Amino acid sequence: MNQTRTIQVITLEMANYIADKAIEKAIEIKLNICVWIVDPSGNPVVFKRQDNSPLISIDTARKKAMTAVGFGLPTGQTWHDFIKDDPILSGGIPQMKDFILLGGGAPIIIDGSMAGAIGISGGHYKQDEQCLSFALSFVK
């Protein structure tokens, strides 16, 4: 019987790098964002907020990261498709603490394991997803 397990946990260095890449993309598309990165337990590793990002995007980015790490699924279309035909899920899931349906959150997968999650908010969720995809393209 195994009594322990090994998990991947994103480093502060990598979390900063990913967050900076998200902000790089936001600058390119003329957007001001907030970026939250959490470890696999949902503990914050990095939070960055661009000047002039919407105040509400602070908590929205956090909820996107928490939703992604809590379920191991990206926020947005994946969740919409999962709950759209189920009245119990579509009514109940959004009532969960720290859950948000909006796109812009995703697990961070390193070496095949979830090492944390990222949440980005500041624009339309499609813009947040652009920043997210760009940032995650640097994760190997």
Structural domain contains residue 1 = no
Looking at the DSSP assignment, which residues form a beta bridge with residue 69? none
56, two tokens: 């509400």
Provide the pLDDT for residue 27: 98
Residue 79 counted as domain residue: yes
Identify which has the larger pLDDT, 94 or 18: 18
Long-range contacts: 110-113, Cβ < 8 Å, 24+?
110/8, 110/10, 110/14, 110/139, 110/140, 111/8, 113/7, 113/8
Instruction: Give the residue with greater pLDDT, 6 vs 32.
Output: 32
- Average pLDDT, whole number, for the chain? 95
128: domain CATH number is 3.30.450.150
pLDDT digits (tens, 9 = 90+) for 74-108: 999 988 888 888 989 888 887 888 999 999 999 99
User: Residue 84: its pLDDT value, please?
Assistant: 85
In a domain, 51, yes or no: yes
pLDDT in the model for residue 21: 98
Domain that holds residue 70: 36-136
Choice between 10 and 98, residue whose per-residue pLDDT is larger: 10
**CB neighbour list of residue 80: distance below 8 Å, 6 or more residues apart:** 101
Q: List own/partner pairs for 38-42 with CB under 8 A and 24 or more apart.
A: 38/65, 38/66, 38/69, 38/116, 38/117, 38/118, 38/119, 39/9, 39/10, 39/69, 39/115, 39/116, 40/7, 40/8, 40/9, 40/69, 40/114, 40/115, 40/116, 41/69, 42/66, 42/69, 42/70, 42/98
Position 29: which residue type?
A: I
Alpha-carbon span 55 to 19, nearest angstrom: 18
Has residue 25 been placed in a domain? no
24 located within any domain:
no
Backbone angles phi, psi at 75, to 5 degrees: -80, 170
Q: Is residue 96 part of a domain?
A: yes
For 39-75, write each residue's pLDDT tens digit.
999 999 999 999 999 999 999 999 999 999 999 999 9
Asked if residue 17 is part of any domain, the answer here is no
For residue 106, being part of any structural domain is answered with yes
> Looking at the 3D structure of the chain, how many domains does it have?
1
pLDDT at 80: 83
Confidence of residue 131 (pLDDT cuts 50, 70, 90): very high
Residue 124 has pLDDT above 90, yes or no: yes
